[in-house]
Amino acid sequence: MHDKSGIAEFAHGLTELGYGIWSSGSTLKLLRQAEVDAEEVPDSAPLASEVIKALSGGAAAVEKPFLVAANLYPIAKIVRQDAFSLDELPDYLDVSNSAVIRAAARSFRDTAVVCDPADYGPVLDALREFGGLPEERLRALAAKAWGYCAYYDATVAQYLSPSAAAALPPELSMALKKVCGLAYGENRHQRASFYSLSGARPWGLNAASIIQGFPLNLNHYLDLDCAFELAAEFEEPACAVVKHRSPCAVACAAGPAEAFRAAFRADPRGAFGGTAAFNRPVDAEAAQAISGELVESVIAPEYSKEALEILRLREDLRITSMPSALLSAGEAGIYKVSGGLLIEESDSVTEPPAPRIAARRKPSAIEYASLSLAWRAAKHARTYAVALAQGQATVAIGSGQPSTLDSFRLAAMKAKEKHPIIDPHDPVVMAADAPLPLNTLAEALNFGVKAVMQPGGWVEDAACVALCDSKGAAMVFTGLRHVRH
């Protein structure tokens, strides 16, 4: 038994009810130091046969209906430490107590198994009031014990094969640990909680610190994740603004304040009440910019003291910090469907692996930098996504439509509302997450787009290249689509 908190008080309570106490190892030593009349487990202890075969490090109460209290070494906390090595793993695996818990849970009809110290008090109260535990309670304790062991085993399996989900094996065990309860799910009538993968090193939202603000709901976490993942795509200072898990805008600049202003200016209506994410610490200048606009949440690696003083004046602003701006490379994408789960590798590609200049005119350096930004924005938007960009900021993003043409028209409409006259200083470029048909490209070039980045691989690719050549536009094929439903 690793967690001995409350075990002496539990044992005292059991002896007062007429139970005899049997234990071994360090647990026995602790009980005797607490003046509990406990005996060491011999081979002929009066226990259920399944339990006596396994018992070595737990505590058992007999002479009444059998009761076994045992818990396991917190392997999840150990394996996620940077200094932990594979060679150390066997020394921390708690085989004996795992067998004790399983054996007791197997005999749940006449054996109560308690693996959580939080259950000591309720179990004692029930024994005092009723003299025993009803079958429903015994089954609930056994179910909790089996879940506890399954979580332990899955943690070990995940550590031995950290990319098991991405490898898509025939059988997959995932151990999840509750991080916190949420205010509500997608809607207020839905309950929700946040779980992290057991043993995962704390760098993502499972390790985020909520500095200020009302409790987060499921939608807040989805927006925080989308916004921070998009901002983390860039090496230069960047700000991404997201609402309802759809990127509104993204901008890069010399510092976080300028990046925020550019992103909010790109889509002020969409960004209103959204989530702003930064890949750099937020300083006082950035905090002043944020406080001047209505955003609901902000997330960044850290905040200066002065920045927090400014942001805290907005009591309704949710302020969250992340330990690092790492992308979730190697993680799995999981989708629920009726009857099961769909699992895929995470789309962690941050640059087109082999871009190909398809049209005669090559994009200029300015155009290619804008294309790269637009390509990342489209990657994190809902399919079919089209992102228009100028300089180092998006002009408009259209996404979540049944066709690229619909998405482009949405983006063009938003761009015209905000920019009736497009600044000719920098060319407008476009990136798409899926292959472009000719009609979408034609409308984009007529709108004024000068360079396009798209996956290619469509039957109209040759016609699209010919159209770009006739208009003097540049076209880059990435050979890689980023569909995101």
> Is 186 part of any domain?
no
> Is 196 part of any domain?
no
Q: Is 93 exposed, middle or buried (0-12, 13-18, 19+ CB in 10 A)?
A: middle
Decide which of 396 and 25 is more confident.
396
> Is 397 part of any domain?
yes
Domain count, the chain: 3
Residue that finishes a domain, picked among 272, 302, 321: 321
- Distance from C-alpha of 428 to C-alpha of 391, rounded to nearest angstrom: 8
Q: Are residues 250 and 117 in the same domain?
A: no
- Distance from C-alpha of 399 to C-alpha of 381, rounded to nearest angstrom: 6
> Is 230 part of any domain?
yes
CA atoms within 13 A on the CB side of 126: 13
State how far Cα 27 lies from the chain centre.
37
Average pLDDT score, the chain: 88
Q: Is the pLDDT of residue 83 over 60?
A: yes
Q: Is the pLDDT of residue 255 over 90?
A: yes
CB 475 within 8 A of CB 435: no
Q: Can you read off the two tokens belonging to residue 476?
A: 């880059």
Q: Are residues 214 and 151 in the same domain?
A: no
Instruction: Look at residue 351 in the predicted model and tell me its pLDDT.
Output: 79
155: closest CA among 113, 196, 107? 196
Phi–psi pair at 338, nearest 5 degrees: -60, 125
Instruction: Look at residue 326 in the predicted model and tell me its pLDDT.
Output: 59
CA atoms within 13 A on the CB side of 215: 12
CB 335 within 8 A of CB 212: no
Decide which of 458 and 204 is more confident.
458
Q: Is the pLDDT of residue 329 over 70?
A: no
> Is 341 part of any domain?
no
CB 343 within 8 A of CB 165: yes
Rounded to an integer, the average pLDDT of 296-314 is 96
10 Å Cβ neighbour count for 470?
A: 10
Q: Is the pLDDT of residue 56 over 90?
A: no
Q: Are residues 133 and 223 in the same domain?
A: no
Q: Are residues 372 and 303 in the same domain?
A: no
Q: Is the pLDDT of residue 297 over 80?
A: yes
Q: Are residues 378 and 307 in the same domain?
A: no
> Is 131 part of any domain?
yes
Q: Are residues 139 and 213 in the same domain?
A: no
Q: Are residues 255 and 117 in the same domain?
A: no
14: which residues sit within 8 A by CB, 6+ positions away? 21, 61, 67, 124, 127
Q: Are residues 284 and 225 in the same domain?
A: yes
211: which residues sit within 8 A by CB, 6+ positions away? 303, 308, 319, 320, 321
Q: Are residues 364 and 473 in the same domain?
A: yes
Q: Could you tell me the residue range of the domain that residue 250 belongs to?
A: 209-321
What whole-number percentage of the chain has pLDDT above 70? 90
> Is 431 part of any domain?
yes
Q: Is the pLDDT of residue 44 over 50?
A: no
- Distance from C-alpha of 303 to C-alpha of 286, rounded to nearest angstrom: 10
Q: Is the pLDDT of residue 171 over 90?
A: no
Q: Which run of H or E residues covers position 211?
A: strand 209-212
Q: Are residues 379 and 282 in the same domain?
A: no
Residue that finishes a domain, picked among 259, 294, 321: 321
CB 390 within 8 A of CB 429: yes
> Is 172 part of any domain?
no
CB 407 within 8 A of CB 392: no
Residue that finishes a domain, picked among 160, 195, 226: 160
In tens, the pLDDT along 207-249 reads 889 999 988 999 999 999 999 999 999 999 999 999 999 999 9
> At 254, which CATH number?
3.40.140.20
- Distance from C-alpha of 356 to C-alpha of 349, rounded to nearest angstrom: 17
Q: Are residues 65 and 125 in the same domain?
A: yes
Q: Are residues 29 and 109 in the same domain?
A: yes
> At 105, which CATH number?
3.40.50.1380
